[in-house]
Amino acid sequence: MTDDTLTAYAQGKIEQLAAASLLRTLQPTRRMDGVFVERGGRRLVSFSCNDYLGLSHHPEVKAAAAAAIETYGAGSGASRLVTGDHPLFAELEARLAALKGTEAACIFGSGYLANAGIIPTFVGADDLVLVDELAHACIWSGATLSGARTVAFRHNDVADLAGKLGALRATAGKALIATDGVFSMDGDVAPLDAISRLARAHDAWLLVDDAHGLGVVGDGSGTAKLFPDARVDLQMGTLSKAVGGYGAYVCATRPVIDFLKTRARTVVYSTGLPPANAAAALAALDVIAREPARVAAPIARARRLTTALNLPAAESAVVPIVLGEAETALAAARDLEAKGLLAVAIRPPTVPAGTARLRLAFSSEHTEDQVDQLIEAVRPWLPR
Ligand SMILES: Cc1ncc(COP(=O)(O)O)c(C=O)c1O
């Protein structure tokens, strides 16, 4: 009998998770380029990377990052408010603000840090946060950290949101609605026009996390552009998906951004992004701006699969194949892997219980042949 209760606790939890097919372990994976990965000694075509435009391996993006490391070093050395505010950050923020049509922008260390910092900056104990039930975990973390009353509304259900605003808005001080633009595990798009109208009608602010929209949806500037009448107060996203690197941003009015820079805890108390990440992002945004065909390709690949398999037409680069139990999703992933295709099984708590799935992510770098191989590999697993 050990008296190390911490170890015993962890061991017990691991055994419970393993028994339910819910234990997750890290699998060292070497990404060779935008498509191929090496895993367990095998070379696989990956449909599980968010590098939708292959920019993580683009020669110009790599060269910009390498040159920035040579010139500026590997890290920022301090929080931005001390000495860590590299001049490249202002350049990147101006570029992001122009892309999103806002006055200003603020970059963060990551998307998780962005939402964990933004939400508590604007709402607190007497306030209300309404969150789409399928919104990303870091929105929930930000809402919880804020101390505001946090209520889920049904996924993309404007009537449910309206009912909850009607019932709860009057007793709250400030109110914030938060949703993904493109949902990370479902690939569908939030009805931002209707949500924005409700926000205005109920004096609520709207935060949209467009991690999976930038570089992919519409003209590449992201989901908000699909809804020209929508007013999105806080346009947040990451540099880690289609932009191919790391870091995140929010675009908003100048006062909103200035307030974040002086108050968001994940800006104030966290080291600035390595300058090379900003250099890489600037180079990637150049590619996105000048190559509309690259931007259009991930959705075209995704639609090739949804058409062939008679699924609802893909709205983004992400297509879920919902299989139900975790064990089924794991078995499907193993079967695909045996065929040389990597489609990692996504299980609870990342997705709701009973909706374990293959989450297929498409890249401009996939060939049509590779997509066709995937179609035939997935076909036998489709629920009848
Ligand atoms: C919708 C959404 N928001 C935020 C994040 C977090 O971004 P990051 O990986 O930059 O922390 C992710 C994915 O990781 C995401 O899918």
Distance CA 133, CA 140 (A): 9
For residue 305, pLDDT over 70 is answered with yes
pLDDT of residue 300: 98
259: which 2 tokens?
Answer: 């307030």
Q: How many residues make up the chain in this entry?
A: 384
Give the mean pLDDT of 234-239: 98
The whole-number average pLDDT for the span 205-223 is 97
Query: CA torsion sign, 316 to 239 to 251 to 349?
Result: positive
**Dist. CA 11–CA 294, nearest whole Å:** 47
Segment 40-46 mean pLDDT: 96
The pLDDT value given to residue 383: 80
pLDDT at 1 over 60: no
What spacing in Å lies between the alpha carbon of 155 and ligand 1's midpoint?
18
Q: Which of 146, 215, 145, 143 is nearest to 178 (CA)?
A: 143
Whole-number Å distance, alpha carbon 238 to ligand 1 midpoint, is 6
* Whether residue 352 has pLDDT greater than 70: yes
**Ligand 1 mean position, distance from CA 112 (Å):** 6
Tell me the mean pLDDT in the region 16-32: 94
Structure tokens at 117: 């910092």
Q: Where are the beta strands (DSSP E) in 40-127?
A: 42-46, 104-108
Q: What confidence score (pLDDT) does residue 261 get? A: 98
Kindly report, residue by residue over 122-172, the tens digit of the pLDDT: 999 999 999 999 999 999 999 999 999 999 999 999 999 999 999 999 999
pLDDT, averaged across the chain = 97
Closest CA to 118 of 239, 273, 266: 266
What DSSP designation does 134 have? T
Query: What is the per-residue pLDDT for 75?
Result: 97
Ligand 1 mutation pick, 49, 138, 141, 344, max ligand atoms within 8 A of CB: 138
Tell me which of 223, 238, 318, 346 to substitute to probe ligand 1's pocket, judged by most ligand atoms within 8 Å of the beta carbon.
Answer: 238
Over range 303-330, report the average pLDDT: 97
The answer, yes or no, to whether residue 44 has pLDDT greater than 60, is yes
Q: Are 261 and 81 in contact (CB under 8 A)?
A: yes
Query: What residues contact 3, with CB distance under 8 A and at least 6 apart?
Result: none
**Separation of 138 CA from ligand 1 center, angstroms?**
7
The pLDDT value recorded for residue 3 is 86
pLDDT cut 70: percent of the chain above it: 99
pLDDT at 384: 75
94-124 residue pLDDT tens: 999 999 999 999 999 999 999 999 999 999 9
pLDDT of 2 reads 63
* CA 138 to ligand 1: nearest atom: 4
User: Helix 254-263 and helix 111-122: axis angle, to 10°?
Assistant: 100
In tens, the pLDDT along 188-198 reads 999 999 999 99
